[in-house]
Amino acid sequence: MSHIPIITPRTRTTTSQGRPPAINPTRRLAPKPREHTSAMILTMKSRIKVITLGVNDLEKSLRFYRDGLGLPTQGIIGTEFEDGAVVFFNMNDDLVLALYPRAALAKDARVSVGPPSPAEFSIGHIVKSKREVEAVMQQAERAGAHVADPARERFWGGYAGYFQDLDGHLWEIAWNPAWEVKE
C-alpha cells in the first residue's frame, strides 16, 4: 500500500535533489485551524416564522384549511398586487402558515415549477393524546384530505398518522409521550 502525502502550503513537494520528501507514515499533517474574526462568523439563528405552501387553487385550499380544519385566518389578502394573493394562518408560538399560488411562489423565488412530491418534507402537528390524533385525522379526511397512513403506534413510542392536503403536502399528526403540548 502506497502512502500519499497530505500536501499543505507548508509541505514541500520535492527535495533540493528533485525527489519527493520522505513520508513518515505515523505522522499526519493536520490542516491548520482557520482563524476567524467575529465579523466573519455568520450563524443562522433558529427563527423560522413562516412556512409557505405552494398551492394550485388558493380559494380551494383556503376552504380546506379554514373551513375543513378550522384554522383561523383573515382570508385571501394581497389581491391588489400582481402575484400578491396569499392566505396567512396564525399558528402557535408566533408561527405563520402561508398559502401562496405555486406559480407565483416559483416566480418569486426564480425557480421553475416542477412536479410536487409529498416525500420532500412533512409538517408535524403535535397533539395531547392518541384520541386527539384520531380526531384530527378524521377531521382532515372529512375536509377532503387523503389519509396516506392511518394513525397507529410508532416505533419511537408515540402514536401518529399522515394525511395529504389538497395539493399533496404531507402532514403528520402525532402524539409523543415525551413532549408537553402547550395551549
Band of the pLDDT at 18, cuts 50, 70, 90?
low
pLDDT of residue 27: 45
**CA pair distance 61, 143, nearest whole angstrom:** 10
CA distances from 116 to 56, 120, 164 (A): 11, 9, 12
β-strand partners of 47? none
Residue pLDDT, tens place only, 84-94: 999 999 998 88
pLDDT of residue 5: 40
Res 30 pLDDT > 70:
no
pLDDT of residue 8: 38
DSSP 32-47: PPPP--TTT-----S-
Res 19 pLDDT > 60:
no
Res 44 pLDDT > 90:
no
**Between vectors from CA 154 to CA 153 and to CA 158, what angle results, nearest 5°?**
80
Cell output for 150: 392511518
**What percent of the chain stands above pLDDT 70?**
78
More confident residue, 29 or 52: 52
DSSP state of 65: I
Residue 58: left if φ>0, alpha if ψ -120 to 50, beta else—which one? Answer: alpha
Nearest in space to 73 (alpha carbons), one of 63, 81, 82? 63
Res 70 pLDDT > 50:
yes
More confident residue, 115 or 29: 115
Residue pLDDT, tens place only, 53-69: 999 999 999 999 999 99
Residue pLDDT, tens place only, 140-172: 999 999 999 999 999 999 999 999 999 999 999
Backbone phi and psi for residue 49, each to the nearest 5 degrees, phi listed first: -110, -40
Nearest in space to 173 (alpha carbons), one of 143, 138, 155? 138
pTM for the structure as a whole: 0.73
